[in-house]
Amino acid sequence: MLWNDKRYHTLNFDLRNRFDCKIIKLSVDGGFTCPNRDGTLGSSGCLFCSDAGSGEFAGSRALPIGEQLAQQIELLRNKWPDGKYIAYFQNFTNTYSTIEDLEEKYEEALSFPDVVGLAIATRPDCLDDDVLELLSRINKRTFLWIELGLQTIHEDTAQLIRRGYALDKFECAFNKLKSLGIKSVVHIILGLPEESRSGMLDSIGYVSRLKPYGVKLHLMHILNDSDLLDYYRESPFHLLSKDEYISLVVDSLELLNPQIVVHRITGDGARESLFAPRWSLDKRSVLNGIDMELKRKDSWQGKYSIG
């Protein structure tokens, strides 16, 4: 099975089919914080999270949303002159504020020329009824997806990485979004400390059975300004090699329902902030390696689909 020239269901394929043009995702910083940082649940964030709240490539929070978008569009205009945009609220927890503040920032993004939708990254425990009502209204008039950082289904790992909520909280939020017709994108990290290969694939199978709109597969990488680096130095754990990661991603894709859109298939930090694994900086090589391994195995997303 092919999605254009790929053996997995890429976001680029999905968005081109929906909008009949190139769609570019622009990462913006809404100036939010997180209950895992402001003292509500904790003060240090998740173990792997950087000071930027996992948004190293987003715009500057010192600028209004519109100016962040304008700066990024200016850089990309020559490459994709006819493209349109999705504003991606990435840093920290982007539903963690007053309804008035959330609505103002979402609307500022949506009112920008050629922005055709929103992507909003958040936590499952930050989707109260009033937030869901706002998201439902927005969903009725534009293209919207909500990103949920599950990372793993295993409670011992979740406690280790200081995720701050139990699996049933994720399931509740996912089901509420689904009941409102709002698309969800689920994040999974491959290579978390002490997780076995079979344990990681169990998380993939769980997500496949849920059948969300999309999934993001992340490589467990260590940033210089994260607590994970301190943990690694005190309790060294196995970091996936490039070949191990490629093999694991291919196995994951084989388990994923083919209708699920793969929004990301690897992950890295900024060159200056990445401690390890440094091989992940050559993203093109990783992506090519995944394509080559799928072809070598004559395999594709969903070949052994669960769910």
Number of domains in the chain: 1
Write down the mean pLDDT value for the chain: 93
In this predicted structure, the answer to whether residue 77 has a pLDDT above a threshold of 90 is: no
- Inform me whether the pLDDT recorded for 49 exceeds 90: no
Under a CB-based contact definition with an 8 Å cutoff, are residues 44 and 37 in contact? Answer: yes
Residue 51 lies in a domain: yes
Q: pLDDT per residue over 185-227, tens digit each?
A: 999 999 999 899 999 999 999 999 999 999 999 999 999 988 9
Q: Is residue 306 part of a domain?
A: no
Task: Please give the pLDDT value at position 55.
Answer: 47
Give CA separation, 28 vs 33, 83, 89, 215, in Å: 14, 18, 5, 20
Per-residue pLDDT, averaged over 246-259, amounts to 98
Per-residue pLDDT at 58: 63
* Beta strand residue intervals within 154-264, DSSP E: 183-190, 214-219, 222-223, 261-264
Instruction: Look up the CATH number of the domain holding residue 74.
Output: 3.20.20.70
Judge whether 4 lies within some domain. Answer: no
Q: Note whether residue 305 is domain-resident.
A: no
CA distance 125 to 43: 16
Question: What is the extent of the structural domain holding 76?
Answer: 11-296
Q: How many Å apart are CA 274 and CA 278, to the nearest integer?
A: 7
Among candidates 137, 147, 82, 129, which has minimal Cα distance to 110?
A: 137
pLDDT(54) > 60: no
